[in-house]
Amino acid sequence: MNYQFNWKLVLSGEYGQWIIDGLILTLKISAVSIVFSLIIGTIIAVFRLSKIKPLEWFSLAYTEFFRNTPLLVQIFFWYFGSDAVLPKAVNQWLYQQDFEFAAGVIALTVYTSAFIAEEIRSGINSIPKNQLEASRACGLSFIQAMRYVILPQAFRIIIPPLISQFLNLTKNSSLVMTIGVMELTYMARQIESYTFHGFEAFTVATLIYIAISLTISLLVNLYNKYFLRHIKY
């Protein structure tokens, strides 16, 4: 083989800018999806424990459906089938925005939130039940007890699995390239198509994904170590 490595081609000039643009979009879609998946996952977990049967059934169906469906299928579902699922006004607004980005966020959010909901539910179940009963006895509603007493403790317990879910979401964001979102993997593929230097392009992309994962792990662990331990419940 007479393959000539050309790292400068990938790391500088127009192709280097493609890598940067792809990285920025990867971080953007990951950050937005993490925020929404955490919010929705928390709501679904509370629904599951609310003792209101319709909410319990809905949360159970939600988690089982999205956890047992491949993410790639869900991405295509939201991209091609959103017209049949979402209200017309919502679809019109999405088409006025970056529709591919929005479809990717929706797919990543609903998929990851189903796993996060189960992590949160496990954390809540690890809290002694008498704490919820004592909170209710003090006059707090179920939602208030969850918000001020149970969830803060549960989140502290589930920091490690939450980190794993956030990292999985960041890595799974590479799949949205299939619907035209020009994130990091998409840009690496474009560089390979234009230059036939796919090894360099995907090596750089791989190292960037590793750096993102290690950075997220470090930041969350530092937060858990230096901040959460000082909070008294």
pLDDT for residue 84: 81
Domain that holds residue 113: 7-230
Specify the higher pLDDT residue, 109 or 160: 109
Who wins on pLDDT, 195 or 94? 195
Q: Which residues contact 138 (CB under 8 A, 6 or more apart)?
A: none
Average pLDDT of the chain? 88
Domain annotation covers residue 2: no
Rounded Cα distance between 49 and 142, Å, is 10
Q: Evaluate whether residue 122 is within a structural domain.
A: yes
Q: Is the pLDDT of residue 201 over 90?
A: yes
Whether the pLDDT of residue 153 is over 60: the answer is yes
Please provide residue 68's backbone torsions phi and psi, each rounded to the nearest 5 degrees.
-105, 20
- Identify the CATH number of the domain in which residue 139 sits: 1.10.3720.10
In this predicted model, what pLDDT tens digit does every residue of 45-100 receive, in sequence order?
A: 999 888 889 999 999 999 999 999 999 999 999 999 888 888 888 877 777 778 89
At 121, the amino acid letter reads: R
Q: For the CA atoms of the chain, what is the radius of gyration?
A: 21
Q: Considering the domain boundaries, does residue 59 fall inside one?
A: yes
Q: For the chain, how many structural domains are there in total?
A: 1
How confident is the model at residue 55, as a pLDDT?
92
Q: How confident is the model at residue 1 (pLDDT cuts 50, 70, 90)?
A: low
pLDDT band at 233 (very low <50, low <70, confident <90, very high): very low
CA 161 to chain centroid, in Å, comes to 13
79 in a structural domain: yes
Q: What is the mean pLDDT of residues 111-121?
A: 94
Residue 56 lies in a domain: yes
